[in-house]
């Protein structure tokens, strides 16, 4: 079969789902095109370490073209989606129009501001490498400005950090900033006093890490408090204006830096019929990952897919494992040319780290915490990163930071031009 005779599969998004699908599809049957606005795959579980100066962005990023160079049937296309023509089977991007036989949407999610769109311009996020790097710069900026500030009240304002959202990402970045307060300030910022730095994590639900066991939630809260992080549950943010946060109960407080981890929603897919879209801008799919109403030609995978089952009536967790497993099953069914196997999620457990030697792990009915859980967390994340060079760099950074509490990555880099395009539809 020549390249011209192969079925054309266009994959929107090169995250966990899109990359795994592209690599598993039969190279003799399919011509695969991967469309992504960035020219690299990245590892979102470690974005918080970029934001807290623990890792460099290049350590968790991997160029698509290097990954695809051995796959003769796969090509990379840079761009973001301008319009999807389901009837004509084309996708218009910022640079070209791509024709396909089958479309797979694996674009992932973006930040959800819950009806407060202006919040995007006022808070700092960690949904992309660029956002995590920008958040890092702002944290370092506040520390450096506070070190020069002679006014005690203004210094305390500069050192106020509010983390919104008590899921794994929120807990991890709050813990990382807590470690900076506990270990870095005394060593590298002698002008500052620990008591002047205030870190608070707020969560709208009754507990942090709500998707994990109560044991994990309770232990994570204790770990955060040991790092001098205040935890407030049943607390929702209503607005943020002129550095003042108004909470749902009417309380108004000054917070210099607000880091948003409160929720996600699917990336916009212009042109996709509205009847395909579910709550949270997720795309309705059946048990084979086929978009309902367009089963012959359109599929969706990962965080953006809403697959309803008896066990997961609100869709599967928006984490890496469901995305990877869905991609592998879809590749199997497409390679076989039949839809004979439905998706069944194999939950391998959940984990979160709250600083050095502090982590919580749920593995089925087993619960681990402390140093052993932290070691499990490190091992699983290390082997999940693409590329041996990246793994070695990450390991060396972790070992060095563990032994010395020091890193050469606390560099304040502030690009003045070319702000990131955040949405597929820009």
In the prediction, which pLDDT does 355 show? 87
Please answer whether residues 199 and 163 qualify as being in contact, where contact means their C-beta atoms are separated by less than 8 angstroms. yes
Looking at the structure, tell me whether residues 213 and 247 fall in a common domain. yes
Looking at the structure, tell me whether residues 105 and 121 fall in a common domain. no
Taking only the tens place, the pLDDT of each residue in 270-327 is: 999 999 999 999 999 999 999 999 999 999 999 999 999 999 999 999 999 999 999 9
Does residue 157 have an active-site annotation? no
What DSSP line would sit under 155-222, residue for residue?
Answer: HHHHTEEEEE--SHHHHHHHHHHHHIIIIIHHHH-TTS-GGG-EEEEE-SSSSSSTTS-HHHHHHHHH
Assigned domain for 198 exists: yes
Question: Model-level pTM?
Answer: 0.90
Looking at the structure, tell me whether residues 233 and 365 fall in a common domain. yes
Looking at the structure, tell me whether residues 105 and 7 fall in a common domain. yes
Looking at the structure, tell me whether residues 236 and 130 fall in a common domain. yes
Number of domains in the chain: 2
Looking at the structure, tell me whether residues 253 and 296 fall in a common domain. no
Assigned domain for 63 exists: no
> Exposed, middle or buried, 148 (CB in 10 Å: 0-12/13-18/19+)?
exposed
Looking at the structure, tell me whether residues 22 and 162 fall in a common domain. no
Assigned domain for 422 exists: no
In the prediction, which pLDDT does 205 show? 95
Tell me how far CA of residue 301 lies from CA of 101, 170, 188, 282, in angstroms. Answer: 17, 25, 45, 10
In the prediction, which pLDDT does 423 show? 44
Looking at the structure, tell me whether residues 179 and 307 fall in a common domain. no
Please answer whether residues 192 and 143 qualify as being in contact, where contact means their C-beta atoms are separated by less than 8 angstroms. yes
Q: What is the CATH number of the domain that holds 318?
A: 3.50.50.60
Beta bridge partners of 231: 201
For the chain, which residues score pLDDT lower than 70? 1-4, 402-409, 413-426
Looking at the structure, tell me whether residues 238 and 292 fall in a common domain. no
Domain holding 83, by residue range, is: 3-37+79-111+265-336
In the prediction, which pLDDT does 421 show? 43
Tell me how far CA of residue 374 lies from CA of 53, 368, 370, 379, in angstroms. Answer: 19, 9, 6, 9
* 3-class SS of residue 368: strand
In the prediction, which pLDDT does 406 show? 62
Beta bridge partners of 8: 31
In the prediction, which pLDDT does 36 show? 97
Looking at the structure, tell me whether residues 361 and 332 fall in a common domain. no
CA distance 232 to 111: 21
Assigned domain for 293 exists: yes
Token pair for 296: 């012959």
The alpha carbon of residue 195 and the mean position of all alpha carbons in its chain are separated, in whole angstroms, by 31
Please answer whether residues 254 and 162 qualify as being in contact, where contact means their C-beta atoms are separated by less than 8 angstroms. no
Assigned domain for 189 exists: yes
CA distance 233 to 218: 12
Catalytic, out of 157, 172, 179, 203:
172
Q: What is the CATH number of the domain that holds 139?
A: 3.50.50.100
Looking at the structure, tell me whether residues 243 and 139 fall in a common domain. yes
Looking at the structure, tell me whether residues 125 and 19 fall in a common domain. no
Assigned domain for 248 exists: yes
Assigned domain for 216 exists: yes
Assigned domain for 426 exists: no
Tell me how far CA of residue 169 lies from CA of 174, 284, 386, in angstroms. Answer: 8, 26, 21
CA distance 286 to 135: 38
């Amino acid at each position: 079969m020549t390249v011209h005779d192969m079925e054309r599969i266009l994959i929107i998004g090169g995250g966990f789902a899109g990359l795994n699908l592209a690599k598993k599809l039969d190279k003799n049957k399919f011509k695969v095109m991967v469309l992504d606005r960035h020219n690299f795959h990245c590892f979102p579980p470690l974005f918080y370490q970029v934001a807290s100066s623990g890792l460099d962005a290049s350590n968790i990023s991997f160029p698509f073209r290097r990954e695809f160079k051995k796959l003769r049937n796969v090509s990379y296309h840079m761009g973001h989606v301008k319009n999807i023509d389901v009837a004509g089977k084309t996708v218009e991007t910022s640079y070209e129009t791509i024709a396909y036989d089958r479309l797979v949407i694996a674009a992932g999610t973006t930040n959800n501001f819950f009806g407060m769109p202006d919040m995007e311009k006022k808070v700092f996020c960690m949904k992309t490498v660029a956002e995590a790097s920008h958040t890092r710069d702002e944290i370092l900026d506040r520390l450096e400005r506070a070190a020069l500030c002679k006014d005690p009240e203004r210094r305390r304002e500069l050192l106020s950090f509010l983390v919104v959202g008590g899921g794994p990402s929120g807990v991890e970045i709050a813990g990382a900033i807590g470690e900076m307060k506990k270990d870095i300030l005394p060593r590298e910022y002698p002008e500052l006093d620990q008591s002047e730095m205030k870190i608070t994590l707020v969560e709208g639900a009754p507990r942090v890490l709500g998707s994990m066991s109560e044991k994990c939630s309770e232990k994570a809260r204790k770990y955060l408090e040991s790092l001098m992080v205040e935890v407030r549950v049943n607390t929702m943010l209503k607005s943020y204006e002129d550095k003042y946060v108004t909470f749902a109960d009417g309380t108004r407080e000054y917070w210099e830096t607000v880091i948003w981890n409160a929720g996600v929603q699917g990336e916009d897919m212009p042109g996709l019929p509205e009847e395909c879209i579910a709550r949270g801008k997720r795309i309705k799919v059946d048990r084979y990952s086929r978009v309902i109403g367009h089963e012959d030609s359109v599929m969706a995978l990962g965080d953006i897919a809403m697959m309803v089952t008896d066990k997961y009536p609100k869709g599967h967790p928006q984490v890496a494992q469901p995305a990877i497993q869905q991609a592998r099953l879809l590749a199997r069914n497409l390679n076989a040319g039949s839809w004979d196997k439905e998706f069944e999620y194999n939950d391998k457990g959940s984990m979160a780290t709250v600083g050095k030697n502090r982590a919580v792990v749920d593995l089925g009915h087993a619960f681990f915490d402390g140093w052993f859980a932290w070691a499990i967390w490190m091992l699983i994340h290390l082997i999940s990163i693409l590329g041996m060079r990246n793994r070695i760099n990450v390991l060396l950074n972790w070992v060095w930071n563990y032994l010395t509490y020091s890193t050469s990555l606390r560099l304040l880099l502030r690009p003045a031009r070319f702000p990131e395009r955040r949405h597929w539809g820009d």
